Amino acid sequence: MRGEAAENSAGGQPVVRILHEDWADPALPLPVYQTAGAAGADICANFPPETRAEGLTLHPMQRAICPTGLRVAIPDGYEMQIRPRSGLATKHGITLPNTPGTIDSDYRGPLGVALVNLGTEPYTIRHGDRVAQAVVAPVSRARFLVVETLDQTERGEGGFGSTGFSTGGS
């Protein structure tokens, strides 16, 4: 491979280029996979120097953007999905209101994580806390075509809950 294609892949893996914001704490880790089988790379809260000590407190039902101190360049043909961390969601009610959030390959602005507190108590995000995970995934772009009719399927027009809730077992 040559040129940009070589920069965007390493051994078949997409390469996400990262730029730290001028104010960001470079001592914090870049997004990192915590285990060999992890699909998502953990992303840390990275606050500007003037707010590092207090962090970000989310009150019940409050939404806020948590800064990461990063900007990214995702290769063409890929997206970065920002997803909640299961421990924060189940233990504290901290999740993402637009999950998964999509970072498009042509976006170059600051990477912020939209968070919401669905819990019953205030929760403080501290500088360096792992707040979300990033999944880099290939993107398929479809064509959209208006037609006179759609093909018939076994499911038909069955919508929300139409396939039932039980597997049939006791």
Q: Tell me whether residue 118 is in a domain.
A: yes
Residue 41, token pair as written in the block: 């790379």
Closest CA to 96 of 85, 109, 107, 108: 85
As for how many domains the chain has, the answer is 1
Identify the three-state secondary structure at position 99: coil
pTM: 0.83
Q: What is the CATH number of the domain that holds 109?
A: 2.70.40.10
Give the span between the Cα atoms of 26 and 125, in whole angstroms: 18
Residue 9 φ then ψ, to 5°: -150, 150
Position 168 scores a pLDDT of: 66
Phi, psi dihedrals of residue 87, rounded to the nearest 5°: -65, -45
Residue 12 in domain? no
Structure confidence at residue 170 (pLDDT): 56
Boundaries of domain holding 110? 20-138
Q: What is the per-residue pLDDT across 39-84, written as a single tens digit (0 to 9) for each?
A: 999 999 999 999 999 999 999 999 999 999 999 999 999 999 999 9
